[in-house]
Homo-oligomer: A and B are copies of this chain.
Amino acid sequence: MYSEKVMDHFQHPRNVGEIENASGVGTVGNAKCGDIMRIYLDIDDNGIIKDCKFKTFGCGAAVATSSMATEMVMGKSIQEALQVTNKAVMEALDGLPPVKVHCSLLAEEAIHAALWDYAEKH
């Protein structure tokens, strides 16, 4: 049912945690399942994402997509990070079952919310 990459990122999630004094924080909820996700971004003076961490109460698909998404935005500019869609993340994970696609949206939305939070502060 789940690809090897999904199981790997689910069982060994990357970048779980919080960032103190983060440049931007985004918290989003999933109306469909009631799960929540928070993403922390550390952005340097050149607008490059230096660090990215996440916390979620969501399911394995939410954990795997957040793990992959945080890896994909790391080192990117804000413009580049905005192009990391949930579709790109799912492709990088070799796909997700259709019933779990809504879970993958949490990571994309939380990253956007964190970038928005950063933009508002600057």
A35 contact set on B, CB distance < 8 A: 59-60
Can you name the residue of chain B whose Cβ is closest to the Cβ of A33?
A: B33
Majority DSSP secondary structure for residues of A touching B: loop
A60 touches B60 (CB 8 A): no
Copies in the complex: 2
B60 touches A57 (CB 8 A): yes
A-B contact pairs, 19 of them (CB 8 A): A1-B36, A2-B57, A10-B57, A32-B33, A33-B33, A33-B59, A33-B99, A34-B97, A34-B99, A34-B100, A35-B59, A56-B60, A57-B59, A57-B60, A57-B61, A58-B59, A58-B60, A59-B59, A59-B62
Residues of A that sit less than 8 Å from B by CB: 1-2, 10, 32-36, 56-62, 97, 99-100
